[in-house]
Each structure stands twice: as C-alpha cells, then as structure tokens.
Amino acid sequence: MAPSALLPAIPPVLGWAVHARWLHGRLTTARRDPLTGLWTRDAFTQRARRLLRDPRAVVVLADVDHFKQINDAHGHAAGDVLLATVAARLAHGTGPGGIVGRLGGDEFAAVVIDRDGTMPDRLHTLARVLARPVDTAPDVHTTVSLGWVRAVDQPGEDLSTLLRRADEAMYAAKRSGRSGPRRARIGWLLESVAGRRPGRRGAG
C-alpha cells in the first residue's frame, strides 16, 4: 500500500482555512510598504478614516528634509536606511493607538489619538528623535519637517482635507527654517496648492 494511502484525507474545511490564512497573509503584505513596513497609502487611508471618528484624533504629515542631498552624498542605500529609520521612529512615536503610513517617497502621514492633550510636546520630542543620526550610520542624519492638525479644529472635514491642511502646515515649518512642528490654524482656508510651492520631491 502506498504511504500516502495511510494518511488521513485532509478535510475540505481545513483546506479552505489554510488557503484563507495564506490569502490573508498575501493581502496584508501587499498593503505594507516593502522598504519601511508601514501601511501603504490606500491601507493607511482605510484605517485612518476609522480613527478620525474619535474627536481627539490628530493628523500629522512628515517630510524628510534634504533627502536628495542624503542620496547624493551617501548613496541610495543610505537613503533607504534613513527612510526605514524615520518610519520606525514615527511608528514608535505614535503609540499603540495610532497609525502611520508611507504616502510615497520621503513623505509619511500619521493619525494619533491625543488622549491627554499633550500632542504639541509629543511632536516636539518626536522631531528631536527624528533628527538623530541613524544608529548604524552616524554620518546619515537630517531633520524632518512636521505639520499637524486637530480634527476638531476643522469640523466636518474629511481625511483628504485634513491631510492637505497638515501638509500646508508642514511646508510652512519647512520654509520657516525648521523651527519645529507647525500646527494648522483653526478654520484655515486653503488656497489652491498648485503653483504655490516648488516641486516636492527633491525640494528638501
């Protein structure tokens, strides 16, 4: 008798369970950025919208300063290490109740629940942490510009609008000489972004 005949048949239900687990793993992997391990833009958006139901939600935009110069001076491998390090520090800084995603290039977004009203202090601390050199490459370091907005400051606005307002605040921080995280003003009415700033990638 063939050895395979001695093995019990795998129940169809078990087979489907194994397949479902495998499929779930593949889908989860597809929603993660392969370099940083953060959620991709679409996956971040889906989860961030749920967090915005909490009135204490804060939306944060982060952009690595001088990223093109880092690549030029140290090589793209060093740039990748820097992005992965920034991602890990952002994820740690948001805490277990927040979510962080990589929107593309050197730009990241987060939604954090500000349970104790300490968000300004937390973001200033985070900015200092992000500016530290990479642990494995002391010569690789730069600042990270942060802009943020409280959802309650912009009543009725969706995630897309809140991200734009945090984005504008972040670029204001970048233009001001990187003086720290910049909060979007309450009820700030944005003008059209087109034509108001230089190209994002490589603008540093």
pLDDT in tens, 160-204: 999 999 999 999 998 887 668 999 876 544 433 334 444 444 434
What's the pLDDT at 200? 46
Q: Which of the pair, 92 or 185, is modelled with greater confidence?
A: 92
5: amino acid identity, one letter: A
Neighbours of 84 (CB within 10 A): 16
Residue with tokens 């063939």: 2
Burial of 141 (0-12, 13-18, 19+ CB in 10 A): middle
pLDDT in tens, 67-86: 999 999 999 999 999 999 99
Does residue 7 register a pLDDT over 90?
A: no
pTM for the full predicted model: 0.76
Does residue 136 register a pLDDT over 70?
A: yes
Task: Please enumerate in sequence order all residues whose Cβ is within 8 A of that of 113, keeping only pairs 6 or more positions apart, or say none.
Answer: 51, 54, 56, 57, 58, 97, 98
- Residue-level length of the chain: 204
What's the pLDDT at 97? 85
Could you give the CA distance from residue 15 to residue 21 in angstroms, rounded to a whole number? 10
Query: 101 near 43, Cβ under 8 Å?
Result: yes
Catalytic residue among 33, 63, 106, 167: 106
**3-state per-residue secondary structure call for 161-172:** HHHHHHHHHHHH
- Catalytic residue list contains 135: no
Question: Residue 113 has which token pair?
Answer: 């629940």
Neighbours of 36 (CB within 10 A): 21
What's the pLDDT at 163? 96
pLDDT in tens, 23-68: 444 444 468 999 999 999 999 999 999 999 999 999 999 999 999 9
Does residue 5 register a pLDDT over 80?
A: no
- What's the mean pLDDT in 84-93? 96
pLDDT in tens, 106-134: 999 999 999 999 999 999 999 999 999 99
Does residue 103 register a pLDDT over 80?
A: yes
